[in-house]
Structure 1
């Protein structure tokens, strides 16, 4: 499934943006006002120049005792930002983000202009119902139609009793 095909994609709010020359204090105030964990640094044509995250602020501003009123976003932002196209496969990006350990993915159009930003949490919440459906189908294929909620609960209860007895015998 493509990123743009998710119903939720159309309802994402416009990403918070700034200029790399803006002072960090102003960017942080805007982030705090929206309760966002990042702000995208763009040029006048909405091309991405960098990304300022809470982690950048902690590592490159606070930890270095820099003054947020005298430090520009461009001085502390992450400059090399991975971007996806709205027509890319959603699952591919979830895997990439997980493997490369980043949580925010700016989405660009065919002209490389910022159109949205997706988080790893967005991708997980969007794919969660599909993963649950796959688990259900796998369970049915493995155990047949006889696998019902009461039988699952009885199995968990029986397993718990066995563990409690085993722990009691060992102690």
Structure 2
């Protein structure tokens, strides 16, 4: 199973030269807790989460209208490829200790975003279907 199923929704992105206040507004408007920070060619260069904003801007009492996304983001984000398997993706979550991974295409451009929650929902649905099949096949 590839990650293509997670590439159907528009990914919330932002440029590193934008301000953190703009990022926070975008997160609110799009109802997301993270933005993929991209270059002009849509290659990911970072991730900016609501936690990054709190710990690197608000807690430091910095002015969010003066701080650039590049100053608050987590650089060099862990990524997975569209053709990555679910096993590879789970390993990447564990290895990098993150809850969200940008998905990139063959050219390295953002194609989607997968969260640990997405994978857990998918796996629980698979387990539920498997359990139902087992129940249906029980004999008298």
- Same fold judged by TM-score > 0.5? yes
Structure 1 stretch displaced more, 118-127 or 70-79:
118-127
CA displacement at 1:145 relative to structure 2:
3.9
TM-score calculated relative to the size of structure 1: 0.73
Could you say which residue in structure 2 is the equivalent of 1:41? Answer: 37
- Aligned to 1:126, what secondary structure does the other structure show? helix
Could you say which residue in structure 2 is the equivalent of 1:53? Answer: 49
Aligned pairs for 1:4-153 within 5 A: 4=4, 6=5, 9=6, 11=8, 13-98=9-94, 100-135=96-131, 145=139
Closer, same or farther: CA 21–10 of 1 in aligned 2, 3 Å: closer
CA displacement at 1:10 relative to structure 2:
5.0
| Structure with higher strand content | 2
In the alignment, the residues of structure 1 paired with residue 38 and residue 7 of structure 2 have an alpha-carbon distance, to the nearest angstrom, of: 21
Instruction: Please tell me whether the aligned partners of residues 13 and 35 of structure 2 are also in contact (alpha carbons under 8 angstroms).
Output: yes
CA displacement at 1:129 relative to structure 2:
1.9
- Aligned to 1:69, what secondary structure does the other structure show? coil
Could you say which residue in structure 2 is the equivalent of 1:3? Answer: 3
Instruction: Please tell me whether the aligned partners of residues 101 and 115 of structure 2 are also in contact (alpha carbons under 8 angstroms).
Output: yes
| Structure with higher helix content | 1
The structure 1 segments of at least 4 consecutive aligned residues displaced by more than 2 Å after TM superposition are 98-101, 131-141
Closer, same or farther: CA 71–125 of 1 in aligned 2, 3 Å: same
RMSD over aligned Cα atoms: 2.2
In the alignment, the residues of structure 1 paired with residue 122 and residue 86 of structure 2 have an alpha-carbon distance, to the nearest angstrom, of: 9
Structure 1 stretch displaced more, 48-57 or 95-104:
95-104
> What is the aligned residue count?
140
Instruction: Please tell me whether the aligned partners of residues 19 and 42 of structure 1 are also in contact (alpha carbons under 8 angstroms).
Output: yes
Using CA pairs under 8 Å that are at least 6 residues apart, name the structure with larger relative contact order, 1 or 2.
2
Could you say which residue in structure 2 is the equivalent of 1:167? Answer: none
